[in-house]
Amino acid sequence: MVSKYNIFNRELSWLSFNHRVLQEADDERNPLYERIKFLAIYSNNLDEFFRVRVASLRALLNLKDKSLNKLTFVPQELIKQIHSTVHKQQEFFGNIFRSKILPELQQNRIHLISDSDVDPQQGKFIKTYFEDNIIEHIQPLILIKNKISPFLKNNRLYLAIRLTNKTKKKEPPKRIRYQYALLEIPSNHLPRFVLLPERNGEHFIIFLDDIIRYCLPDIFKAYNIVDSYAIKLTRDAELYVEDEFTGDLLTKIEKGLKRRSTGVPARFLYDISIPKPFIKFLREAFQLRPEDMYEGSRYHNFNDFFDFPNPVGKHLEFETMPVLNHKKIDSYPDMYAAMESSDHLLHYPYQKFDYLLNFMKAAAKDPSVKTIKVTQYRVASNSQIVQSLIKAANNGKDVTVFVEIKARFDEESNISWAAEMQKAGIHVLYSFPGIKVHAKIALIQREINGEIKDYCYLSTGNFNEKTAKIYSDFGLFTTDKRITEEVEKVFFYLEGRIVNDKFKHLLVAQFNMRNKFDSLINNEIKFAKRGAPAKIILKLNSLEDRRMIGKLYEASNAGVEILILVRGICCLIPGEKNLSENIKAFSIVDRFLEHSRLYYFSNGGDDLIYLSSADWMKRNLSRRVEAAFPIYDPDIKRILLDIIAIHISDNTHNRIINKTQSNKYKKSPKGKEIRAQYEVYNYLKKIHG
C-alpha cells in the first residue's frame, strides 16, 4: 500500500483547498459581506465533500474485498485524519465568525441577535412573524425510545429539544425525567434570516432558528422547555447506477436521484454543548455510528449566509467591476466577420459573456445557418443558450445537443432542459455509459455560396451565463480549419459514428490526450538533457493523476523548470530533494473562482499553449470526453503569457503549495502589492478598451 513515489492524499489536499477559502473569510482586505460569503462557500463545499467523498470512503469500510489491498491508504485511518482536520477548520471557522465577523457587523450597526437577546418590543414582532409565517410549517414530534424515531432529511436543519412535563406539584421532583422532541426548521420554505424593525439607525437580524426557539413555549404548551440544540444529517449523494452499460441510463439516473435524498448517513453534525445523555439518545434513535458524529456549533448550514441581509449598503461588498468589451471584435459588423478575420479569445468574468449569447441568438435566426451542435454539462437555470437552440430548431435548423446527465448535482436541471429541447425537435444525445462528456465545444455550420463554412467556439468553462459572472474561464472563437474539422470529428464520435482518423491538433480524452501530454513532457525533458532551456507551466483546478505526477517528477529530475498554478487538489509534492526540486506550485483563491486550464510548453523557444476543459485527474484523462485546444494566433499567445505572468507574480492572494500544504502566503519583500485578478482586469481593459 505504498506508492513508488511520494504524493499527497487527494482528500486531505482538498481540505487544504477549503482551508484557503476560510483564509479569505479571515482576510480583512476583503469587504465584510464578501468574507461572510466565503464562510458560506466553505460550508457549502464541506457539505458536498461529505456527501460525495467521505460517503465513498465510508462505503469502503463495508468491503471485504482483495481490491482494498490495492489502495494507497487505509480508509479508517484516512477518515480519522479527515475528522481531525475538519475539527480544526471548524474551530478556525468559529473563531473568524465570533471574533471578527460579529464585531465588525456591530461596528456597522448590524446586530445578529439570538433568542436570549430579544427585548419585549422585538418579542412582539417575533411572535407576530411566527404566527403569520412559520407556524404552518411546524410539525413537532415527541421522540420515544425504541418506538418513534423519524427519518432525518438530507441537510435539513432540526432542533433537538429537551423537555419536562409541567406539574401542579409545588415540590420539585427528586429525579428529573426528560423527554425529547424534534422539530424541523423550515429554512427550505422561509428565509434563514429575518430583519427586525430598525431602531435609531441600528439594524437587528435574527436566525429563523432563534425565532422558533423563542416561540417553543407556544409550540410545546404542555411542557417546560429545558434547552434546544441544532442538528443536521448529511447523506450520501452518490447515485450508484450499478450497471451503466445495459438498459436505459436516463431512467436509471432518474431513479438514482429519487434515492439520493435517502442515502446512508455521511455526517451527523450536532451542537457541541448538547448533554452526553441526549446525544447518546439521538445516536441510538437514528442508528448512527461513532464515525458519523461531528461536533459543531449552535448553528449549522452556514451556506445560508449567501443570503445574509445587508441593510446598510454596497460599501460592505466588492466594488463592481464593469464587464469589458472586446475592442477587436467590436470593430467588425458581426461575429462571423470577426471570426473570419482571425481567432478571438474572451476571458470571463472580466469580458462580456454576451458575445457568446449574441452569437448563438444570431445563429438561431440566420437563414444561412444549417447546423448547430453543442455540448451541455451544467445548464443555467434560465439558459439563454438553450432558448436560442430551441428557436433555431423552430426555425428549421438541424440542432444536435449532447447533454451530460451525470453532471453531479445538475442531473435534474440537465434532464429537464433536455426534455424541453426534445419537445422542440432538437436531436438530444445523452450520457455515455461509464464516461462523462466534459468537453465545452460548439459548432455552427453556414452555407455560403453553396459551400459549408464552420464556426467554432471552444471553452474551458460551461455554456452557463450565471457561472460566467464568477468563474474565471477562457473562450475561443475560431474558423481555423485545423481546429474546426477536428471539433466536427468530436461530434461525430458523440453521435456514435466511428472516428478512424487521428486527432492532430485537438487533444481529446479517449483518443490522444494522455499520450500527447506525455510526449510534450518528454519533449521538454529532451531539451533539458541537452542543456537547452526547458519549461512547463500548468494552470488547472486539480492535479491528482499519478501517471502525470510521475512524469512531472521525471521532468523535474531532468532539469525542466515547472510552475504549477492549481486552485484545488494538488497531490504532487513540490520542492522535494531528488524528486521535485525544480517544481514550484501556487494557489490563488480570490474574488473569482479560478476555473480555466492552461498548459504551456516552451518547446525550444517555439511556445506551445493549450487551453482545456480537463484537469490532470484520472477521471478527466481516462473516464471523460475532454478537449484541449491549441492556441495558434501569436497575439492571443502573447496575451495568455502575460496573464499567466500576472498570476505567478500575485503576492496578496497567492499561497505556496508545500509538502505540508500549510497554505502560507506568497509575499514579496518589497515593492507593489499585486492582486492577480484585479491586475488581469486592468490589463484586459488596457488592451481592449
| Secondary structure of 235-287 as H, E, C letters | ECCCCCCCCCCCCCHHHHHHHHHHHHCCCCEEEEEEECCCCHHHHHHHHHHCC
pLDDT band at 174 (very low <50, low <70, confident <90, very high): low
Separation CA 620–CA 510 (nearest Å):
10
| Type of residue found at 259 | R
pLDDT, position 256: 58
Q: What are phi and psi of 447, to 5 degrees?
A: -100, 115
Per-residue pLDDT for 244 more than 60? no
Higher pLDDT, 106 or 167: 106
pLDDT, position 484: 98
Alpha helices in 424-567 (DSSP H): 481-494, 513-529, 546-558
Cell of 336: 462571423
The mean pLDDT value for 88-95 works out to 95
Separation CA 330–CA 614 (nearest Å):
30
CB 40 within 8 A of CB 687: no
User: DSSP state, 431?
Assistant: P
pLDDT, position 2: 33
pLDDT, position 430: 84
From 78-87, 265-274, 476-485, 665-674, the region with the lowest mean pLDDT: 665-674
From 8-17, 201-210, 218-227, 251-260, the region with the lowest mean pLDDT: 251-260
pLDDT band at 224 (very low <50, low <70, confident <90, very high): very high
Per-residue pLDDT for 412 more than 90? no
Ramachandran class of 245: left when φ > 0, alpha when ψ lies in -120 to 50, beta otherwise: alpha
pLDDT, position 166: 84
551-601 per-position pLDDT tens digit: 999 999 999 999 999 999 999 999 999 999 999 999 999 999 999 999 999
Cell of 261: 435524498
pLDDT, position 70: 60
Matching residue, cell 445538475: 410
469-505 per-position pLDDT tens digit: 999 999 999 999 999 999 999 999 999 888 877 899 9
User: What are the CA-CA distances from residue 111 to residues 116, 164, 306, 340 (Å)?
Assistant: 13, 33, 17, 58
Residues of each domain in the chain carrying CATH 3.30.870.10: 327-500, 508-688
The mean pLDDT value for 648-671 works out to 91
pLDDT band at 408 (very low <50, low <70, confident <90, very high): low
Nearest Cα to Cα of residue 613 among 326, 353, 378, 355: 378
Q: How many helices (H) and strands (E) does the chain have?
A: 21, 28
The mean pLDDT value for 244-264 works out to 58
Separation CA 298–CA 192 (nearest Å):
14
The mean pLDDT value for 70-99 works out to 89
Nearest Cα to Cα of residue 487 among 535, 522, 441, 539: 441
Nearest Cα to Cα of residue 6 among 391, 406, 439, 576: 576
Average pLDDT, the chain: 91
- H or E segment and range at residue 364: helix 354-365
User: What are the CA-CA distances from residue 460 to residues 104, 379, 456 (Å)?
Assistant: 38, 15, 14
pLDDT, position 290: 87
Q: Are strands 179-184 and 158-165 parallel, antiparallel or unpaired?
A: antiparallel
Nearest Cα to Cα of residue 313 among 616, 33, 654: 33
Separation CA 559–CA 602 (nearest Å):
13
pLDDT, position 73: 72
Nearest Cα to Cα of residue 366 among 310, 305, 438, 448: 448
Torsion sign over Cα 642, 647, 648, 649: positive
pLDDT band at 93 (very low <50, low <70, confident <90, very high): very high
Cell of 225: 422547555
Percentage above 70 pLDDT, the chain: 92
State the maximum Cα–Cα separation within the chain, in Å, rounded to a whole number. Answer: 100
Percentage above 90 pLDDT, the chain: 77
Catalytic residue numbers read 438
CB 665 within 8 A of CB 654: yes
194-209 per-position pLDDT tens digit: 999 999 999 999 999 9
Strands of 110-113's sheet, edge to edge?
Answer: 110-113, 202-207, 193-199
- H or E segment and range at residue 600: strand 597-601
Q: What are phi and psi of 52, to 5 degrees?
A: -110, -60
pLDDT band at 291 (very low <50, low <70, confident <90, very high): confident
pLDDT band at 3 (very low <50, low <70, confident <90, very high): very low
pLDDT, position 410: 62
pLDDT band at 239 (very low <50, low <70, confident <90, very high): low
Per-residue pLDDT for 403 more than 70? yes
The mean pLDDT value for 362-380 works out to 94
Residues of each domain in the chain carrying CATH 3.30.1840.10: 10-316
Q: Which architecture does CATH list for 327-500?
A: 2-Layer Sandwich (3.30)
Matching residue, cell 446527465: 405
Per-residue pLDDT for 243 more than 50? no
The mean pLDDT value for 139-143 works out to 91
User: DSSP state, 200?
Assistant: T
The mean pLDDT value for 505-526 works out to 97
Matching residue, cell 438530444: 428
User: DSSP state, 144?
Assistant: B
The mean pLDDT value for 506-520 works out to 96
Q: Which residues contact 388 (CB under 8 A, 6 or more apart)?
A: 357, 360, 361, 363, 364
Give the burial class of 174: count Cβ atoms within 10 A of its Cβ; 0-12 exposed, 13-18 middle, 19 or more buried: exposed
Top mean-pLDDT range of 138-152, 421-435, 606-620: 606-620
Per-residue pLDDT for 273 more than 50? yes
pLDDT, position 236: 78
Higher pLDDT, 258 or 595: 595
Separation CA 570–CA 261 (nearest Å):
31
The mean pLDDT value for 101-128 works out to 96
User: DSSP state, 142?
Assistant: E
Separation CA 581–CA 541 (nearest Å):
22
Separation CA 521–CA 537 (nearest Å):
11
Class of the domain covering 10-316:
alpha beta
Separation CA 453–CA 366 (nearest Å):
13
pLDDT band at 1 (very low <50, low <70, confident <90, very high): very low
Per-residue pLDDT for 119 more than 80? yes
pLDDT, position 237: 66
User: Collapsing DSSP states into helix, strand and coil, what is residue 165?
Assistant: strand
Separation CA 305–CA 37 (nearest Å):
6
Separation CA 663–CA 674 (nearest Å):
18
Strand partners for 369 = 446
Nearest Cα to Cα of residue 543 among 512, 583, 511: 583
Separation CA 461–CA 474 (nearest Å):
7
Matching residue, cell 487538489: 569
- H or E segment and range at residue 125: helix 120-129
Matching residue, cell 491508504: 73
Nearest Cα to Cα of residue 564 among 13, 3, 72: 13
pLDDT band at 55 (very low <50, low <70, confident <90, very high): confident
pLDDT, position 64: 62
Cell of 186: 423550515
pLDDT, position 85: 95
The mean pLDDT value for 643-669 works out to 93
Per-residue pLDDT for 121 more than 50? yes
Per-residue pLDDT for 257 more than 60? no
Separation CA 689–CA 322 (nearest Å):
12
pLDDT band at 683 (very low <50, low <70, confident <90, very high): very high
Rounded (5°) CA angle 463-466-471: 80
Separation CA 26–CA 98 (nearest Å):
11
Of 3.30.870.10, 3.90.550.10, 3.50.50.60, 1.20.1070.10, the CATH number of 508-688 is 3.30.870.10
From 82-96, 126-140, 253-267, 298-312, the region with the lowest mean pLDDT: 253-267
344-359 per-position pLDDT tens digit: 999 999 999 999 999 9
| Type of residue found at 115 | D
